[in-house]
Amino acid sequence: MMNKDVLNTSIEFLKGVGPNRAKLIKNELKISKFKDLLFHFPFRYIDKTKYHKISEINFNSSEIQLIGKITELKELGVGSKKRLSASFSDNTGSIQLVWFKTSKWIIDSIKLNQTYIVFGKINNYNNNISIAHPELEIYSKENIKNRTNLFAVYPSTENLNKRGITNKVFSKLVEELLISINTDIKENLPKYILDKYNLIGRRQSLISIHKPRTSDDLKKAINRLKFEEIFYLQIRLIKKNITRKDKIKGYVFNQIGDKFEEFYNNHLKFKLTNAQKRVIKEIRNDLGSGAQMNRLLQGDVGSGKTIVAFMAALIAIGNGFQTCIMTPTEILSYQHYNKFYEICNLLNINIKILTGSRKASNKKDIKESLKKGEIDLLIGTHALIYDSVEFSNLGLAIIDEQHKFGVAQRSKLWHKNSLPPHILIMTATPIPRTLAMSAYGDLDMSIIDELPPGRKHINTFHQTSKDRLKLIDFLKAEIKKGRQAYVVYPLIKESEKLDFKDLLDGYESFSRDFPMPKYQISIVHGKMNNEDKEYEMQRFIENKTQILVSTTVIEVGVDIPNASVMIIESAERFGLSQLHQLRGRVGRGNHKSYCFLITGNKKTKESKIRMETMVKTNNGFIIAEKDLEIRGPGNIMGTQQSGEMPLKVTSLIGDSRLIQKIRKLVERIIQKDPKLKNINNAIILENLKNMIDKKDIWEYIS
């Protein structure tokens, strides 16, 4: 067998495996080749140099190790209840060892009055302490010496255990593996990197992670493996970004255009923040570069992303191209449409709206004139990416408040033209830096890290229903000052009916506390038809109603600067970024704003953390970090579609410093040696080539 193929050998051929076990292991753990087993890392280590006395065992013990003798062995029960029971004693007491499937093999191998080392989990059945399916090893000097304080425990399954592949057996297989591939593990990082960052060799690290001798060994091994994992992830992301720019041509918008100029000089109602200016410049550069833009714009709620989007659209339109803006909700589509309508008329831009609930005849008209190129700016929901929607020359697609648009949906836009349109994605919530760098590492990133002037901290309070009277008084005072308030109820699919009742009850209760005609209250929820929703929203926008009771249909994007109070009912049922988004509906103008999180008295530990975090900070980036910490990367917006992160040893949270350090290193390498032609980087190039045919999840994030 040629050396380089050893790692691709089927585990069937590993000593101790064979076809049956190979099939089982493949089914249970998706391990089929030597290299899969090599990279199936332990998830923890146990100390096998510690021994207990039987008298020390109590109900709280978990895994223990004993030295003693088996004094009696008997088969109990009949049929499926049949089991083998052994009395095991040391000089302090005795305990039962139990095997639920008795086999002749076990009975024959156990010797009475032989001293054994026993290891296993304590079972507590009817106050009888026992160990089921213990590991048994004959006590000898040699065996004692071989025991380590870092004995690997592998992720496994119930079924594997049942069918005899216990952790001990598994460890033996790994041991065999390490012997047979000893010389086949090749280094994949250049020597200068190993030296500079004080990393151990690859072979040693892979041996040590399975069989560490000391905790220091283990630390070095993990550190080295994290390094290689992050290094190759980052280098692929960065290289992909560069290739995309090389290969994917985009429309060239070579002028800023008269629409932009006219708007900027004569119609812009406020001064752009420096951050907004910087981001517009970044976009402008992309649009003129000849490559397709793929840019992610991050900014906290209320940082002013919309105007940036609009001005980007003006560049595209000024260059003779169509633009679309997609939003996650109809309410948001209408808001943009209503806001842009007047100015578009002034600038002689034909703007239209297309959402699912519009009349069929109206949709048909819009689609026809879109195809003819008569529409310059089309606003809409995901209805925009239906196959029947055809643009004449879509130059720029803007995706607002991204968190409901999947990767697959985004890429659908690509097929609407000969050249792909430029794409600008605006996130609903900031993404933690390390996550952004990994999950979106191949997109260019713009960040608005500055709020428009005059914004004040939103005071946030956590309350229970007993504070209600005070809250109502406070609300009345705010309304008296001319302000408005949102009251939001959760609406979660599983308990839709109950939630809906809560919403209506809440509406009634507020109607009693704020009686007509002095007060007006709007209600908006997902079950209303679009016209009614629009009507109610419009009344609130025009300050004809002072309180808007709603479900989360107003969660993202809604922008009504006069509103200063946000009340979130059953706040414990919302996630952190959702709470932050909802709170972001207030504090959008110059008025001092408030957010009240109302919860029941009983809360989980997690929801307590959420409330505390909200009360403590207004900063979306900090909140996003916390959210990542609580929920893990798999649940954070935008990454659901990307499946599991292919990271085995790296933690996006715990290793954020390391990720940043390696990202910088990779950037430096690529900058100096873009094609990796330098002899010192040959090893990187070779490894990258090997990775290319491996289609992985990063391929379709674009």
- Beta-carbon contacts of 357 under 8 Å, excluding residues fewer than 6 positions away, are 330, 529, 530
Q: Nearest approach, Cβ of 549 to ligand ADP (angstroms)?
A: 22
Minimum CB distance to ligand ADP smaller for 297 or for 658: 297
Minimum CB distance to Mg ion smaller for 14 or for 556: 556
| Total interface residues for ligand ADP by CB under 6 A | 17
User: What, of ligand ADP, Mg ion, none, does residue 610 touch, CB below 5 to 8 Å by kind?
Assistant: none
Size (the chain), residues: 702
Among positions 156, 205, 303, 656, the unique one binding ligand ADP when judged by CB under 6 A: 303
* Residue 302 engages Mg ion in binding (rule: CB under 5 A): no
Residues 115, 89: Cα–Cα separation, whole Å: 10
- Chain residues 556-575 in contact with Mg ion, contact rule CB under 5 A: 557
Q: Nearest approach, Cβ of 197 to Mg ion (angstroms)?
A: 41
**DSSP-assigned beta bridge partners for residue 422:** 396
| 469's tokens | 């009277």
Q: Nearest approach, Cβ of 512 to ligand ADP (angstroms)?
A: 32
Q: How many CB atoms lie within 10 A of CB 343?
A: 17
Residues 391, 411: Cα–Cα separation, whole Å: 15
Sheet (strand 547-550) strand order: 459-463, 594-598, 563-568, 484-488, 547-550, 521-524
Q: Nearest approach, Cβ of 557 to Mg ion (angstroms)?
A: 4
Among positions 272, 291, 407, 445, the unique one binding ligand ADP when judged by CB under 6 A: 272
* Residue 588 engages ligand ADP in binding (rule: CB under 6 A): yes
Q: Nearest approach, Cβ of 271 to ligand ADP (angstroms)?
A: 6
**DSSP-assigned beta bridge partners for residue 86:** 73, 97
Minimum CB distance to Mg ion smaller for 395 or for 557: 557
Q: Nearest approach, Cβ of 385 to ligand ADP (angstroms)?
A: 21
Which single residue is written with the structure tokens 């709020």? Answer: 451
* Residue 452 engages ligand ADP in binding (rule: CB under 6 A): yes
* Residue 125 engages ligand ADP in binding (rule: CB under 6 A): no
Q: How many CA atoms lie within 13 A of 391 on its CB side?
A: 30
Pure H helices in 296-357: 305-318, 330-346
User: What, of Mg ion, ligand ADP, none, does residue 452 touch, CB below 5 to 8 Å by kind?
Assistant: ligand ADP
* Residue 307 engages ligand ADP in binding (rule: CB under 6 A): yes
* Residue 304 engages ligand ADP in binding (rule: CB under 6 A): yes
Minimum CB distance to ligand ADP smaller for 25 or for 556: 556
Kindly tell me the sign of the dihedral angle through the C-alpha atoms of 358, 362, 368, 373: negative
User: What, of Mg ion, ligand ADP, none, does residue 433 touch, CB below 5 to 8 Å by kind?
Assistant: none
| 306's tokens | 């919309």
Residues 489, 197: Cα–Cα separation, whole Å: 52
* Residue 302 engages ligand ADP in binding (rule: CB under 6 A): yes
Residue whose Cβ sits closest to Mg ion: 557
Minimum CB distance to ligand ADP smaller for 259 or for 591: 591
Assess contact for 121 and 57: CB atoms under 8 A: no
Give the range of 161-169, 454-462, 551-559, 569-577 binding Mg ion by CB under 5 A.
551-559
Measured CA distances, 174 to 153, 214, 364, 587 (Å): 11, 18, 64, 58
The contact pattern for ligand ADP, residues 537-566, with x = CB under 6 A and - = no contact, is ----------------------x-x-----
The identity of residue 188, as a single letter, is N
Q: Nearest approach, Cβ of 556 to ligand ADP (angstroms)?
A: 8
Q: How many CB atoms lie within 10 A of CB 242?
A: 14
Residue whose Cβ sits closest to ligand ADP: 304
Give the range of 271-279, 320-328, 363-371, 374-382 binding ligand ADP by CB under 6 A.
271-279
Q: Where does 77-114 show beta strands of DSSP type E?
A: 83-90, 93-99
- Beta-carbon contacts of 57 under 8 Å, excluding residues fewer than 6 positions away, are 64, 95, 122, 129
Give the range of 154-162, 302-310, 472-480, 642-650 binding ligand ADP by CB under 6 A.
302-310
Q: Nearest approach, Cβ of 318 to ligand ADP (angstroms)?
A: 21
Measured CA distances, 499 to 502, 558, 597 (Å): 5, 22, 17
Residues 502, 490: Cα–Cα separation, whole Å: 9
User: What, of ligand ADP, Mg ion, none, does residue 270 touch, CB below 5 to 8 Å by kind?
Assistant: ligand ADP
Minimum CB distance to Mg ion smaller for 38 or for 637: 637
For 533-538, the CB contacts below 8 A with 24+ separation are 533/330, 533/331, 534/334, 537/331, 537/334, 537/335
* Residue 328 engages Mg ion in binding (rule: CB under 5 A): no
Among positions 120, 250, 299, 430, the unique one binding ligand ADP when judged by CB under 6 A: 299
Pure H helices in 347-451: 360-371, 407-412, 433-439
What does the angle CA 612 – CA 616 – CA 621 come to, to the nearest 5 degrees? 105
Residues 160, 27: Cα–Cα separation, whole Å: 10
* Residue 301 engages ligand ADP in binding (rule: CB under 6 A): yes
Minimum CB distance to ligand ADP smaller for 194 or for 445: 445
Minimum CB distance to Mg ion smaller for 432 or for 557: 557
Among positions 259, 305, 462, 583, the unique one binding ligand ADP when judged by CB under 6 A: 305
Give the range of 121-129, 230-238, 246-254, 304-312 binding ligand ADP by CB under 6 A.
304-312
Q: Give, as one character, the DSSP assignment of residue 584.
A: T
User: What, of ligand ADP, Mg ion, none, does residue 475 touch, CB below 5 to 8 Å by kind?
Assistant: none
Minimum CB distance to ligand ADP smaller for 35 or for 588: 588
Report which of 399, 352, 350, 415 is spatially closest to residue 379, judged by C-alpha positions: 352
* Residue 328 engages ligand ADP in binding (rule: CB under 6 A): no
Assess contact for 186 and 202: CB atoms under 8 A: yes
Q: Nearest approach, Cβ of 427 to Mg ion (angstroms)?
A: 10
Residues 300, 618: Cα–Cα separation, whole Å: 10
* Residue 273 engages ligand ADP in binding (rule: CB under 6 A): yes
Q: What residues make contact with Mg ion under the rule CB under 5 A?
A: 557
Q: What residues make contact with ligand ADP under the rule CB under 6 A?
A: 270-273, 276, 299, 301-307, 452, 559, 561, 588
